[in-house]
Structure 1
Amino acid sequence: MKAILKISLILTIFCLYSCAETQQVLETTGRVQLDGTYTITTLNGDSVNGMTINFSGITKRVSGNGGCNQYFADYTLNNLTLSIGDIGATKKACPNLDNETELFEALANVGSYNSVGKSLTLYSKDNNDVLIEATEN
C-alpha cells in the first residue's frame, strides 16, 4: 500500500512540475515560414513585369528571375525579421538592367516581411518602407 502511495505521489509531483513550464507563443497575422514562388508586382512602388522570387524554407535560399538574369542568395529568418545575404546572379547581356539592379539593391536592404494569404510584402530594414510586393503563384 505504501508503495502505491509513493508511486502516486511521485507521478503527481511529476505532472505538476511538467504543467508548470510555459512557452512563449509568437502572435503573428501571417505565415512565419517563408516558402513558395511569387511573382513580383511592385518594386519600390512601381509596377514591374517578368520578375519572380522563390523562398525555400528547407534550404533557406532565395532565388528568382530579375527580368533578365537568374539570382540566388541565402536568407535568415528570425520571427518576422528577414535578412538576405550576398546576391549572386548570372551575367546575361540585356539591353536594360535598371529594374534588375534596383531589385538586387532592394533585396539587400530587406529587413522584415509580411505574408498573408497569397500576398508577400518585403520592407526595408531602415525605415519599414515597402520595397517589394509579390503574389504567390
Structure 2
Amino acid sequence: METLQEIKARDTSLAQHLMTELWVMLEQDKANINLDHMERGKAPIENYSEDLTMRSQLEKTKICDIISKLQHIEGVLTKLPTSDRAKMQSSFSSLCAEANLVMKKIDRKDVQCGTLGRRLSVYSDELAKALQRSSKQI
C-alpha cells in the first residue's frame, strides 16, 4: 500500500511529466505550422475546398488535444499539496501562455476557416483566461 508521501511524489512527478510532454507537443506544432505554411505556397489549388475542410478538422483536433492536456494537467495540479502547487505555478502559467499562442497560430494560419476559426479562437482565448485564473489559485 502506498503512503501519502509516495502518492504526492507520484502526482508531482506526473504533473511534471505531463507539462514536459505538452511543451514538446507545442514545439512540434509550431514547427509544423511553419513547415505547412511554406509547403502550402507550392501546392496546386485543385482541391482547395477539400484541403481547407481537412485542414480545418486537423486544426480543431490539435486545439482540442492541447485543451485536453491542459485540463488534465490542471486536474493533477489541484490534487497536489499547496507547497508543490506553488512551486509549479510559474511553469504552468508559462505553459498556458505558450499553449494559447500556439492555438492562435494553428487557428489563424488559414484565415479562410471562417466561422470555425473564429469560434476556436474565442474558445481558446476563454480557456487561456480560465487556466491563468486557476493557475493563480493553484
Shorter-chain TM range is under 0.3
TM-score normalized with structure 2 length: 0.28
TM-score normalized with structure 1 length: 0.28
Higher relative contact order (CA 8 A, sep 6+): 2
Structure that is richer in strand per residue = 1
Structure that is richer in helix per residue = 2
